Amino acid sequence: MKLTSLLAAATAASALFAGAAAAEQVKIGIAAEPYPPFAAPDSSGNWSGWEVEIIDAVCAAAELDCVITPVAWDGIIPSLTGQQIDAIMASMSITEERMKTIDFTDPYYNTPAVIVADKSMDIEPTPESLAGKILGIQASTTHQAYAQAHFGDAELKVYQTQDEANQDLVAGRIDATQADSIAMADFVNSDTGGCCEIKGAVADDPAILGRGVGAGVRKGDDDLREALNKGIAAILADGTHEKITAKYFTTSIY
């Protein structure tokens, strides 16, 4: 075969490979359990919510072919490092502890952690007020780490999902729960959570609570991290982030 033919064949093969790579789906891991208003499935298993729309918008802006892949929360980082998924976009706070294992994009939202309890309970989001109380927290979250560090005099009850903690709060089996302010605002404004109210935000601790929520990627996957950063920056700049947020919240969460 002539050299020119070899070069032409190599160029065609390279183009074919590049096209195949570009067409590869990026598996975006979300928590398998409902977490309204960020993500929840319908009866057919189709997911919707603020974070689902943000994922779609970020991927579109970054020109990535993304597919949402539900994973149990307590196994979501192992699923990433084990290559079952390519990124995590599941309201995961950017913390120093997690950054020992995975990398993060720039933040795409940031909200405080709050304490929620029955309206009749005289509870404040302080160690003194929660001493002796039963505090429900979700496993493998910044809220669990925070409660263990700051609310050592409370009895901590750990749940696999926040929904389970909310159910026990309504049933009176726990005195309070700590979780994200936006998710809990949705809960207390629902028929189920009408018994309860947000008692206030916990004191900030950036080392535990992190510096906002970002997309998690495997260590060294810089191309995907930068592509997602490009998408996040684009939807913040062109108003898409604000437009999606306005559908779910009355104030900015960035």
Mean pLDDT, residues 234-242 taken together: 98
Task: Report the distance separating Cα 128 and Cα 149, nearest Å.
Answer: 14
Each residue's pLDDT tens digit, 66-101: 999 999 999 999 999 999 999 999 999 999 999 999
Same fold, 18-110+211-248 and 113-209: yes
Q: How far is CA 238 from CA 57, 197, 225, 243, 244, in A?
A: 11, 35, 20, 10, 12
Q: How far is CA 128 from CA 57, 131, 133, 146, 209, in A?
A: 43, 5, 10, 15, 20
Q: Say yes or no to pLDDT of 113 above 60.
A: yes
Q: Say yes or no to pLDDT of 1 above 90.
A: no
Per-residue pLDDT at 23:
52
| Matching residue, tokens 């990627």 | 217
58-81 b/e with 16+ CB inside 10 Å = b? bbebbebebebbbbebeebbebbe
Would you call 136 helix, strand, or coil by DSSP? strand
Task: Report the distance separating Cα 6 and Cα 98, nearest Å.
Answer: 48
The CATH fold assigned to 113-209 is D-Maltodextrin-Binding Protein; domain 2 (3.40.190)
Q: Give me the phi and psi of 38, to 5 degrees please.
A: -80, -45
Per-residue pLDDT at 224:
98
Q: Could you tell me which CATH number the domain at 18-110+211-248 has? A: 3.40.190.10
In this prediction, residue 37 has a pLDDT band, given cuts at 50, 70 and 90, of very high
Per-residue pLDDT at 153:
98
Task: Collect all residues with Cβ–Cβ distance below 8 Å to 230 and sequence separation of at least 6.
Answer: 61, 62
Per-residue pLDDT at 11:
44
Q: Which helix (H) or strand (E) holds 235?
A: helix 222-237
Model-level pTM? 0.76
Task: Report the distance separating Cα 246 and Cα 232, nearest Å.
Answer: 17
Average pLDDT, the chain: 91
Domain boundaries, the chain: 18-110+211-248, 113-209
Task: Report the distance separating Cα 150 and Cα 142, nearest Å.
Answer: 12
Residue 200, CB half-sphere, CA atoms under 13 Å: how many?
Answer: 12
Q: Within 10 Å of residue 99's Cβ, how many Cβ atoms?
A: 14
